[in-house]
Amino acid sequence: MSLDPSFVGRTYPPTAPYQVGREKIREFAAAIGATDPAHDDPEAARALGHPDVVAPPTFPVIVTMAASRQIVEDPALGVDYSRVVHGDQRFAYTRPVVAGDELVCVNTIEEITNRGGHGFLTTRTDVSTAAGEPVVAVWSKIVVRGEA
């Protein structure tokens, strides 16, 4: 399907804050088999200089995936989610996510291309604390597959 390139540069309003819970980090770490004590034990995290348990590197996708619904469900853009495939994913961290963080996402459409009947959409999500401290920037490219 074809995506309208005029959406490039569009920035969406900040999302409602996401409260990062200690148990959510523990649950996520257990689900991916990450056994470092800093994901589980606040003392172990503090020994590394963090205020509470540390999230594994891909944890922010929980927050950004929910936030990106702003874009993929924007009726004006018209993405058919049943045809979406994940293309690329990238994270650039200012610091790791830790329990107690209150995270706000600002989504920007960075790139739209159409090629071979497929649409390619790159979004950047700037994740910061509610107080405005930057935490991680997250890029995601999705492919909206055309009708075969």
User: Which is nearer to another protein, 4 or 86 (by Cβ)?
Assistant: 86
Contact by Cβ (8 Å): 61, 138: yes
Q: Site for another protein (CB under 8 A): which residue of 3, 54, 71, 103?
A: 54
Binders of another protein among residues 86 to 115 (CB under 8 A) are 86-93, 96
120's tokens: 């390619």
Which listed residue (61, 72, 106, 130) binds another protein by CB under 8 A?
61
Alpha-helical (H) ranges within the chain are 22-32, 42-47, 60-67, 69-72
What separation, in Å, do the N-terminal and C-terminal C-alpha atoms of the chain show?
10
Residues 20/102, Cβ–Cβ less than 8 Å? yes
| Residue selected from 5, 11, 48, 73 as contacting another protein according to rule CB under 8 A | 48
Q: Which stretch binds another protein (CB under 8 A): 50-58, 72-80, 104-112, 120-128?
A: 50-58
| CA distance linking residue 139 with residue 141, whole number of Å | 7
Q: For another protein, which residue of 1, 10, 22, 65 counts as binding (CB under 8 A)?
A: 65
30 binds another protein (CB under 8 A): yes
* Residue from 8, 62, 106, 130 in contact with another protein (CB under 8 A): 62
Cα–Cα distance for residue pair 127/18, rounded to 1 Å: 10
Instruction: Give least dist CB 46 to another protein, A.
Output: 12
